[in-house]
Amino acid sequence: MTQAGPEDTVAPVRPTPGTGGGLPSPDDAGALHETVIGWYHRHARDLPWRSADRTAWAVMVSEFMLQQTPVVRVLPVWEEWLRRWPTPAALAAAPSGEAVRAWGRLGYPRRALRLHAAAKAVTERHGGHVPADEEALLALPGVGSYTAAAIAAFAHGRRTVVLDTNIRRVFGRVLRGEALPRPSMTVAETRLARVLLPADDAEAATWNVAVMELGALVCTARSPRCDDCPLAARCAWLAAGRPAPEHQPTGQAWAGTMRQLRGAILAVVREAHHPVDLEALVRTATGTTVDLTGSDTDGGSSTGTGGTDSSPSGPLRTLSALGHDEARVRTALDGLAADGLVALDGAGHGRMVRLPD
């Protein structure tokens, strides 16, 4: 990306009288709109859910998948998902377990179940058409305030306040001099975003995605590219010498966690062609035994945890390497079943694990 040129810059903001210096004047807001939207038209990524012919359903699927997941990981799964289920009705007609299977390695797989449930609700309540009204969107399973606003804006061109981490970071740095947003959204942030929102529906929708893109590509959390930023000349954080954040986010642990164990178990079940023997799965997860020779990759008979990749890097080997104790493994299985991500059939030592119907 080239450095910001004269056409990309905007003068420092002048606060609106009577606002305590925290809100920009209408003239400055207009200058921000012109600058950031102009930058977006020149530098935005070519993403399929932004194309002119994208459907509201395609946008909705992208918003579910992009929650806490990078674009590069979402793209291939999104493309396959839309090829397989191009409409809400198509997904609604499929078993929820197929949604979990197709979700693959995106993480947080309960999102797949929520998207499946949302597809059913859209089909049953809205005739298969993703609603444009935020209240109707909020009534769908798995749709919170951010997702409702994002779908209304990016799928239907509605004027809504969209506040994700990227937008919060840009606003916080440029207008408040804060390195990173606070862990929880504040009333002041929402008020600022509402004041900055253009009056025109289409311009407001573009403004939202433009600020989001600026945060994703330039005003990043760890390595901001201030020399490339069209707002560098008026950024309060940059003018203050880029002070350290008051609130340093802590990443979620992964190794040795229940999340890792659940993900490894689900990967085995997801890749299986047939139900998996529960006791064989427990033995594998505890590192007691791992039988890769009987894996059913071709749909034939299976001697143990069939339907998995028999290579050393496959799901069975990954699960076996974790070496958790039996009680923890059974707790993970019970949790997956309680969340609807797997189904447990049978009783005693004949119990089987499979994806839900």
Active site members? 63
Provide the token pair at 101.
């299977």
Three-state secondary structure string covering 229-298: CCCHHHCHHHHCCCCCCCCCCCCCCCCCCHHHHHHHHHHHHHHCCCCEEHHHHHHHHCCCCCCCCCCCCC
Q: How many residues does the chain have?
A: 357
Q: Is 104 left (phi over 0), alpha (psi -120 to 50) or beta?
A: left
Instruction: Tell which residue, 146, 354, 327, 156, has the closest CA to residue 265.
Output: 354
- Asked if residues 180 and 221 have their Cβ atoms less than 8 Å apart, the reply is yes
Q: What are 172's two structure tokens?
A: 């916080």
Question: Side chain identity at 14, as an amino acid letter?
Answer: R
* Residue found under tokens 């509201």: 56
